[in-house]
A and B are shown apart, each in its own frame.
Chain A
Amino acid sequence: MITSSKRTPLTFLVHATVLFLVIIWTIPTAGLFISSIRDKNQLSTSGWWTALSTSEQRHVARAHEPKAQVQEGDRFVIRGNLFEGSAGEITKFGSSSLRPDEFDVGTVAELKKGETLQVLENGDYAFSSPVPWKGSRGDRIFYTAEVPPRFTLENYREVLNSEGLGKSFINSLTVTIPATIIPILVAAFAAYALAWMRFPGRALLVAAVVGLLVVPLQMSLIPLLKTYNLIGDFFGVGSKTYVGIWLAHTGFGLPLAIYLLRNYIVGLPREIIESARVDGASDFDIFRKIVLPLSFPALASFAIFQFLWVWNDLLIAMVFLGNDADHIVLTGQLRELLGSRGGNWEILTASAFITIIIPLCVFFGLQRYLVRGLLAGSVK
């Protein structure tokens, strides 16, 4: 292009602007990912951009029960460690929720009735009293600690097991794979017929496909739901089945599939198809042995589209598939979590990342085909 503008302020501006935009576009996803692998206490008290620095956290811990006390001279002492194995550095402590940072670390705090409490930097504490400790529960210790950054997969473990995301993941796969393959097969035959076979009404059908391309899904929901209910009652299986959603996704994906594949197939060289005809191949032979292998790029493009679309779909899944554990898909589960666990970012971020990881892999792995499909489907 305009090569003369090398190393000018304008070029610098272009680099800077693109860098700026790229940062804006990637930061939201990066923030999500980083947050999802942070310790959940750190996540809820400090921004993810501080993930690498030490954070100051306020905690409360309970000392050991009185039965753990030992007599040292004339005093009765309960000893233990607040961190119980994990790392950290305590700066302040206190024994009352009103003043959690009353004492500096290391000092021996004088409490009521001659009791004392000492907390060291490493979390070691010692409660001491002139009379034996009574009761069944230990006293609370409030402390402020400098906690080093901690990254963990605990959040993922939690959402996959207790929040049911693992099951949803499988549900999503169950919906997505057949709903990607079936429309390809149906559409490829139709696209070939619309591209290379001569019959009355062909132009009308092509126009219909183009028209249906933009029909809002919303139009279909109510009539289809009614029909599904009828069919479900008739067979006594309930209206929300996997077969039902596969077919729904197939139906809704078909206009784009036919349009995309027809555009590609009609562009195959006419002479190759005629040559096969002279060679004695029937339309079925030509489709199977010539057109299908040659259309691989278009088939791949559509497959990626349909995969992303079905995997990411919320609407159709909510209408045609139930919300029970055996059926709810990842997007549906994520939406439920947004409602029920709105403040628990460790759960939301990890869940969100699980829902987007497969599409992202598909995206980065097969981007070339995706772009090609987009171009074939739009620029015409």
Chain B
Amino acid sequence: MADVKLTNVKKIYSNNVEVLRDINLDIKQGEFIVFVGPSGCGKSTLLRMISGLEEISAGTLEIDGVVVNDVPPALRGIAMVFQSYALYPHMTVYDNMAFSLQIAKTSKADIDQQVRKAADMLQLTPYLDRLPKALSGGQRQRVAIGRAIVRRPKVFLFDEPLSNLDAALRVATRMEIANLKDSMPDSTMIYVTHDQVEAMTLADRIVLLSGGDIEQVGSPLELYEHPANVFVAKFIGSPAMNIVPCRIEQTGAQTLVSLSASTSIQTPIVTESSEQAKPAFFGIRPEDLVVVSAEQESLFSGEVSFVESLGEATLLYVKIPGADDMVIAKQAGTLSIKRGDNVYLSAPAEKMHLFDENEQSYLRKG
């Protein structure tokens, strides 16, 4: 039983800057939730409010059905892993892990047993007598995790725990965290990151924040396949989804949009007749675009202004009529297409996205 429930939670700083507006969120026991978003979106503040390090300006936070707004961090049943590890530099690995238990006046034998168990789990046993400065980055990160484990918290909080590691170590540690989750299926974990790959690979559900609001909550694939708005569409996936302004020409079970005088696209998206003639945004992911020959049916064509060969894939930057930004098409392998070539691009109908003038997805409506 360790549900976390946020109801109308707000954070307003003393200078009246509102960093979080009306956050409502239900986190079930055992879930792995990832808060993701660009820097300054409020994701870390939200985590710190759950931890108790930051005061909640309005709304309620419940852990296990108890309102904990005014409960000090140590009594909330949470543990936190910090971005910089925050190990106590003057204490050995053992003392670092034992610190919270010592504060709680746990008996020496219990402390020893729990610390050794956690150390064993994280392969830290040989390093128990070392100071943090004698450890590698990955080992320090494991100590930080171990420090959280020994407290046997109901909720684990991770604040960008991998961002201080180099790329290779990041992948390894990501897998360790995934394993950790598997070994503790009853623990709720809340994880903050700005890295969408971490979010996609670790999360049961992703909470995507931007500018103090929740943009969308859902499983990684939901967010990828059915982004609720342009922001989510562009944030998840790399390179970002192509968004081209258009006009709705025809509504109904199939919507016809025009990108320019010469280009119009038939989409399988349902729209109400009231949407007729309104401006909208057409979206298609670069990896869903396919280069076709001139004779085949295509969505649009244009001149290639730039080619990036990555080896396993090739990125084509195509200038198409009616769009200010270039459309990116990601093709597997290497291609013989050069700058200045004219290409025809096509995509499966079910991969198309359409957003209204307020950048909200039409798929979600009705």
- A→B interface (CB under 8 Å): 269, 271-272, 274-281, 285, 289-290, 293-294
Given contacts A290-B88, A293-B90, A294-B89, contact A276 B99 (CB under 8 A): yes
**A294 lies within 8 A of B103 (CB):** no
**A277 lies within 8 A of B86 (CB):** no
**B53 lies within 8 A of A278 (CB):** yes
What is the interface residue range for chain B against chain A? 20 to 34
**B104 lies within 8 A of A272 (CB):** no
**B99 lies within 8 A of A279 (CB):** yes
Which of the segments B4-12, B74-82, B206-214 contacts the partner chain? Answer: B74-82
A228–B333 alpha-carbon span in the complex (Å): 89
**A274 lies within 8 A of B53 (CB):** yes
Given contacts A272-B88, A294-B89, A294-B90, contact A277 B82 (CB under 8 A): no
Which residues of the other chain, B, contact A272 by a CB distance below 8 angstroms?
Answer: 86-89
B83 — nearest CB in chain A belongs to which residue? A271
Q: Is B100 an interface residue (CB 8 A)?
A: yes
Q: Is B73 an interface residue (CB 8 A)?
A: yes
- Quick one: which of A269, A278, A294 has the most chain B CB within 10 A? A278
B73 — nearest CB in chain A belongs to which residue? A278
Knowing that A271-B83, A275-B80 are A-B contacts, what are 16 other residue pairs whose CB atoms are under 8 Å apart, sorted by A's residue number? A269-B84, A271-B82, A271-B85, A272-B87, A272-B89, A276-B88, A276-B99, A278-B52, A278-B73, A278-B80, A279-B74, A279-B99, A280-B72, A281-B74, A293-B90, A294-B90
Q: Is B51 an interface residue (CB 8 A)?
A: yes
**A278 lies within 8 A of B51 (CB):** yes
What 6 pairs across the A-B complex have the smallest Cβ distances? Answer: A280-B74, A279-B100, A271-B86, A275-B86, A271-B82, A280-B103
From residue B208, how far is it (CB to closest CB) to chain A in Å? 25
A296 — nearest CB in chain B belongs to which residue? B90
Which residues of the other chain, A, contact B51 by a CB distance below 8 angstroms?
Answer: 278
Give 24 pairs: A residue, B residue, CB < 8 Å, sorted on A: A269-B84, A271-B84, A271-B85, A271-B86, A272-B86, A272-B87, A272-B88, A274-B82, A275-B80, A275-B82, A275-B88, A277-B73, A278-B51, A278-B53, A278-B73, A278-B74, A279-B99, A279-B100, A279-B147, A279-B151, A280-B103, A280-B104, A289-B99, A294-B89
A274–B104 alpha-carbon span in the complex (Å): 16
From residue A194, how far is it (CB to closest CB) to chain B in Å? 18
From residue A249, how far is it (CB to closest CB) to chain B in Å? 30
**A278 lies within 8 A of B79 (CB):** yes
From residue B137, how far is it (CB to closest CB) to chain A in Å? 15
A281–B78 alpha-carbon span in the complex (Å): 14
A290–B96 alpha-carbon span in the complex (Å): 11
A282 — nearest CB in chain B belongs to which residue? B103
A280–B99 alpha-carbon span in the complex (Å): 9
